[in-house]
A and B are shown apart, each in its own frame.
Chain A
Amino acid sequence: MSVPAAETQRAIEIEVRNLNAWYGTAQALFDINLTVQRQSVTAFIGPSGCGKSTFIRCLNRMHEEIAGAHAEGTVLVDGTNIYGRALSPIQVRRHIGMVFQQPNPLPTKSIYDNAVIGARLNGMIQGRASADEVVERSLRGAALWDEVKDRLQAPSISLSGGQQQRLCIARALAVEPEVILMDEPCSALDPIATLQIEDLIKELEKRYTVVIVTHNMQQASRVAETTAFFFQGRLIEVGATTKLFSHPDNKQTEDYITGRFG
């Protein structure tokens, strides 16, 4: 009897083949090929405008939500091409959650309603008890429960920036995704809040596949197992984080991580 693959070696969760992306006629990504391992953290680094945010948005088809933008190529998630005709972007996003740069809780809704909105949007909630359960589970999952359990009906904007970002993570967890994409989740936060989010990412790794775009190379080396370096719309180098930061194969990668540009 064979041992399940996940226990012997890390299965591949996302496999990207020949992905190209455009904003109107301007090409932003050129022939990206990359695999993301299951239940690990993968970081995308690179200077501003290198395409790392565009790329992460291609992974749950958010890229095409920008007017005039489109992407072509193959992104296999668990073996299924999310750009295939059989799938709608809606279905894709239910399995691949996303956290944005600026915390974007719904300002007119309470903490409770924010935590549950994703599940409600997907028709996953039946009755009050089910909603309560989703709220507690997702807030616990985002390490926010203990801080807000006594004021769930308070408006979301009464929280601090770091708490708001964790609320956004909770909101994504409530939909029960397999993959969580984070587009510079800490760039609007102070160092303490950043640390809390990073701890949370290490926690999330145990159950989810996490992809994070970051400006901050220290952050990549702290949280990510695998790091990919992007430059001018191309994937320059990808590998184990420790190796990429100590012995990069590519000259451009070395110049970037040693601070010669970017």
Chain B
Amino acid sequence: MSVATGEQSNSLFKPERGLFHARRRIAVYLSVGLTTIFAGAAILFLSYFVFYVAREGIQYINLDFFTQEPPLSNSGGGGIVTALEGSLVMLVIASIIGIPLGMAVGIYLAEFGRGRLADVVRFLVDTLTGLPTIVFGLFIWVLIVAPTRTFSGLAGGLALSIIMVPTVARATEEVLRLVPGSLREASIALGGTESRTILRVVVPAARSGIITGMLLALARVAGETAPLLMTSLGNNFFIPVDQLNITNTPLDAVPLRIFIFTLSPFPVQQHQAFAAALILLVLVIVTSLLVRLATGGFKERGR
């Protein structure tokens, strides 16, 4: 008998043999291997997507692209300043209305939401989250555009704001539920009222999660096209900011502009669609990076 086998049979740790251990090892390799492959595929696909958009569009990005009105011909010149202005205006309107409203609904659902009313609200919020966004556009068209007989930036911003509400509400509700009960308890034991506990202790504790939720909602509506078609319509002409009336002037938006460029028969404008898409992509990425830095910063300093 060899020394090695003698050692093994005396050892506490016997070699793992047999079908059970073989199956277990295969399962480990398979699960690690498959998840790695799929993760790699997802990353590859996403990077190719970004790369493709960049390759098609980057040569058309120059100073003019940010400062000029859209080209009326196939000359290839011009820019999307109208779309940048319109998107900015409408996103600000959407944020001012949609974020507080969504947060209020989320706080209600997480902190007070018991009984039938809360169930109804939760059901509605879930339904709204899944509703095609063009329906929101239609809603605003009926409610505002038709009675006022004009497309406007305000109508577009309002449509986007309602789209934000369910997303912000759900995100707020979910992160508030994650705040440990011990923090609520601490505040209540200090003589804090329910409202002060929520506003000064619970919501600040969930701050970074709430901001992430807002950002997701903002990123989502920044790319919305359909609801804007019937609310803000689009505009080829730049309106100086001081002459801008959001209640009666149709406004352009980046996704709208992409849509219009893609419909164009001219290859030049099709490339400009990619350039605009690239700008949208970069804007969304940069915003989310900035917010991550701003909200994660506090935790980093804490260590």
Which residues of chain A come closer than 8 Å to B55, judged between CB atoms?
A: none
Residue A91 interfacial (CB < 8 Å): yes
Q: How many residues of B contact A (CB 8 A)?
A: 23
Q: A90-B193, A122-B191 are in contact. Are A155 and B186 (CB under 8 A)?
A: no
Q: A118-B191, A121-B197 are in contact. Are A171 and B185 (CB under 8 A)?
A: no
- Cβ contact within 8 Å between A65 and B204: no
Q: Could you give, for residues 140-157 of chain A, a 1 whenever the CB lies within 8 Å of some chain B CB and a 0 otherwise? A: 000000000000001101
Closest residue of chain B to A154, judged by CB? B302
CA distance A171 to B185 in the complex (A): 13
- Cβ contact within 8 Å between A106 and B205: yes
Which residues of chain B come closer than 8 Å to A104, judged between CB atoms?
A: 180, 182-183, 185-186
CA distance A91 to B193 in the complex (A): 10
Residue B42 interfacial (CB < 8 Å): no
Q: How far is the CB of B302 from chain A (nearest CB, A)?
A: 4
CA distance A94 to B189 in the complex (A): 8
Residue B220 interfacial (CB < 8 Å): no
Q: Could you give, for residues 72-108 of chain A, a 1 whenever the CB lies within 8 Å of some chain B CB and a 0 otherwise? A: 0000000000000000001101100110101011111
- Cβ contact within 8 Å between B189 and A106: no
Closest residue of chain A to B193, judged by CB? A90
Residue A158 interfacial (CB < 8 Å): yes
CA distance A90 to B196 in the complex (A): 11
Which residues of chain B come closer than 8 Å to A117, judged between CB atoms?
A: 187, 190, 200-201
Residue A43 interfacial (CB < 8 Å): no
Residue B116 interfacial (CB < 8 Å): no
Closest residue of chain A to B194, judged by CB? A90
Within 8 A of A (CB), among B63-89: none
Closest residue of chain A to B205, judged by CB? A108
CA distance A210 to B242 in the complex (A): 66
Residue B44 interfacial (CB < 8 Å): no
Within 8 A of A (CB), among B164-188: 180, 182-183, 185-188
Could you say which of B180, B190, B204 contacts A93, with CB atoms under 8 Å apart?
A: B190
- Cβ contact within 8 Å between A108 and B204: yes
CA distance A168 to B192 in the complex (A): 15
Residue A235 interfacial (CB < 8 Å): no
CA distance A223 to B18 in the complex (A): 61
Could you say which of B185, B190, B204 contacts A122, with CB atoms under 8 Å apart?
A: B190
Q: How far is the CB of B139 from chain A (nearest CB, A)?
A: 38
CA distance A71 to B164 in the complex (A): 44
Which residues of chain A come closer than 8 Å to B189, judged between CB atoms?
A: 60, 62, 93, 97-98, 100, 172
- Cβ contact within 8 Å between A108 and B191: no
Closest residue of chain B to A168, judged by CB? B186
- Cβ contact within 8 Å between A172 and B298: no
CA distance A168 to B187 in the complex (A): 11
Residue B301 interfacial (CB < 8 Å): yes
Residue B207 interfacial (CB < 8 Å): yes
Instruction: Give chain A's interface residue range (CB within 8 Å of chain B).
Output: 20 to 34
Which label, helix, strand, loop or mixed, suits the secondary structure of the B interface?
helix
CA distance A234 to B182 in the complex (A): 27
Which residues of chain B come closer than 8 Å to A109, judged between CB atoms?
A: 204
- Cβ contact within 8 Å between B188 and A65: yes
Most buried by B among A91, A93, A97: A93
Which residues of chain B come closer than 8 Å to A107, judged between CB atoms?
A: 183, 205
- Cβ contact within 8 Å between B183 and A106: yes
CA distance A155 to B298 in the complex (A): 8
CA distance A175 to B189 in the complex (A): 11
Which residues of chain B come closer than 8 Å to A118, judged between CB atoms?
A: 190-192
Closest residue of chain B to A181, judged by CB? B189
Closest residue of chain A to B206, judged by CB? A108
Closest residue of chain B to A104, judged by CB? B182
- Cβ contact within 8 Å between A93 and B200: no
- Cβ contact within 8 Å between A100 and B191: no
Could you say which of B182, B191, B193, B303 contacts A102, with CB atoms under 8 Å apart?
A: B182
Within 8 A of B (CB), among A167-196: 168, 171-172, 175
Most buried by A among B186, B190, B201: B190
Could you say which of B187, B207, B303 contacts A121, with CB atoms under 8 Å apart?
A: B187
Q: How far is the CB of A56 from chain B (nearest CB, A)?
A: 11
Which residues of chain B come closer than 8 Å to A17, judged between CB atoms?
A: none
The 4 closest A-B CB pairs, nearest first, are: A94-B191, A118-B190, A155-B302, A121-B192
Apart from A65-B188, A90-B191, A93-B190, what are 18 other A-B pairs with CB-CB below 8 Å? A94-B191, A100-B182, A102-B182, A104-B183, A104-B186, A105-B186, A107-B183, A108-B298, A117-B200, A118-B192, A121-B187, A121-B190, A121-B191, A121-B200, A122-B191, A155-B301, A168-B186, A172-B190
What are 16 contact pairs spanning A and B, CB under 8 A? A60-B189, A65-B185, A91-B191, A104-B186, A106-B186, A106-B201, A106-B204, A117-B190, A117-B200, A121-B190, A121-B191, A121-B193, A158-B303, A172-B189, A172-B190, A175-B191
On A, residues with C-beta under 8 Å from B are: 60, 62, 65, 90-91, 93-94, 97-98, 100, 102, 104-109, 117-118, 120-122, 154-155, 157-158, 168, 171-172, 175
